[in-house]
A and B are shown apart, each in its own frame.
Chain A
Amino acid sequence: MAQSSRWEFEAIGTRWQVDTAAELSAAIRSEVTALIGAFDQAWSRFRDDAQIAPLAEVPGSIPAPMDASPMLDLYVELSEATSGAVNPLIGDALARRGYDAHYGLVDRGAQPAPARWRDLLTWRDGVLTVREPAAIDIGALGKGRLVDRVMDLLLARDEVVGPVTVDAGGDIAIRGTERIALEHPYDATRAIGVWQVTDGALCASATQRRAWPGADGGGLHHVLDARTGEPVRTIAATWAVARDAMTADAAATALFFDGGPRFAHSHAVAWVRMTTDGRLEWSPDSKAELFL
């Protein structure tokens, strides 16, 4: 790669790698750190001081946190495409299965997210309102959105020239070209293919990335079906390529469910996914080089 300088750090629970042609100045790094901190403080389900935290206790309104409209508007489409399997009020359901603010990882059983979430949650005129206490979780696309924001910040700085890659634990935005191995979900030493991406974004999602034991002895992970509160069992891993990381991240989540291919098609997202029994599927427009 043409990038010669890598900045690595941990934030929002994942490893970030920012690759640029020349080393980033301390000033730009602190801007990036502040942006990530502000996003986390707005939306994190894991922080007691998050802007959305009071809504989980008491119904009411708050000034809409950053990026509320672009993210929640896309959630409407995700929810419709997946027949309700993706839902931004899944925070309580995730916490009950053990994926809570303290990484308790103790399973207290399945609970669906509120199916009529669009009646309970509104965002307009800069105000975010819940009519019943609800734990908002933007996990289906929030990390992708933040990766886009970091990329936009870097590209807006005159001193940043040449190729740039922002990689937040598999949500990757690229200006330039990267050849990306698609890691086998059951064997981290192997790849099921390679995807060369130029000026776009690739987001990967895998169910065993964050998995823990369930009360019934089965494996639990962080991709739950909001209609049941149960983890998805059919798809093991997804990879999606789009112009921006939020769209790719949203599609990578949708592809765990039946409506995913349709959602991807309507947003011009190319994709590959692997089922839990080892089968690969891909979109008609996939440019991935697969090792079949």
Chain B
Amino acid sequence: MIRTTAVPRSVRAGAAAASVLGMVALAGCSATTADPTPTTAPGDTMATSSAATPATTSDAGSASSAGAYKNGTYTAEGSYSTPESVETISVTVTLADDVVTDVEVTGNPTKRESEQYQGQFIGGIQSEVVGKKIDEISVSRVAGSSLTSGGFNKAIEEIKSEAKA
């Protein structure tokens, strides 16, 4: 089954922060540079205001034999614009063997309006949702992904068989 690639994330601190987070995770996973400082990709809506600060934790700088990055925890400050103001956030990334194992985003809204801006449109968040078996619940129909068109499915089957050959 073909699935989308999950970007590792651990904290979601509002819509704008999420895009920052994705960018940091991307930079952390890149193996094309030997620079151990997490870099921040240029974003169209977000201007990063500072460089990353490597490493205040104990395992920072410990040898990672073949990796492009030193293991450790890195923190960077970023900023983004809301309709009312420019807000700053702090992003902390933990690297182990060139893989981002943890990301934390701390927002610090400076205005009350912005606090509402970040949270007012989302009613709740719950992680690790497993759900229930559809045949064990009482419903009249299903809305999701199981109904796909014949033409599309046929093309996918052809790709699969070519990939095997």
Contact = CB atoms under 8 A, between A and B. Distances in A.
Interface of A: 1, 10, 13-15, 17, 83, 103-105, 165, 167, 169-170, 172, 178-195, 202-204, 206-213, 218-219, 221, 227, 231, 233-234, 236-237, 239, 258-259, 261-262, 264-265, 274-286, 290-292
Given A180-B142, A211-B2, A258 B134 contact: no
The 7 closest A-B pairs by CB, nearest first: A183-B144, A261-B121, A284-B123, A204-B143, A258-B15, A209-B145, A13-B149
Interface string B64-81: 000000000000000000
B34 interface: no
A290 B123 CA distance: 13
A contact patch SS: strand
Contacts of A234: 7, 9, 18, 22
Interface residues of B, number: 54
Given A180-B141, A192-B131, A236 B4 contact: yes
28 contacts: A13-B151, A15-B149, A172-B143, A180-B139, A181-B144, A185-B144, A185-B145, A189-B133, A190-B130, A191-B142, A194-B139, A204-B144, A207-B4, A208-B1, A208-B2, A208-B3, A209-B144, A212-B2, A219-B2, A219-B5, A221-B4, A234-B18, A262-B15, A277-B6, A279-B128, A280-B127, A282-B122, A284-B123
A210 B121 contact: no
A259 B155 CA distance: 33
A58 to B, nearest CB: 28
B165 interface: no
A276 B143 contact: no
Contact of A179 (B127, B133, B140, B152): B140
Q: Considering residues B1, B132, B145, which has the most beta carbons from chain A within 10 angstroms of its beta carbon?
A: B145
Contacts of B132: 190-191, 291
Contacts of A213: 2, 159, 163
Nearest to B14: A258
Contacts of B51: none
Nearest to B15: A258
Contacts of A233: 4-7, 22
A89 B3 CA distance: 26
A237 B144 contact: yes
A227 B44 contact: yes
B45 interface: yes
B131 A281 contact: no
Nearest to A264: B121
Task: Find the residue from B120, B131, B146, B154 having the highest chain A CB count within 10 A.
Answer: B131
A195 B133 CA distance: 15
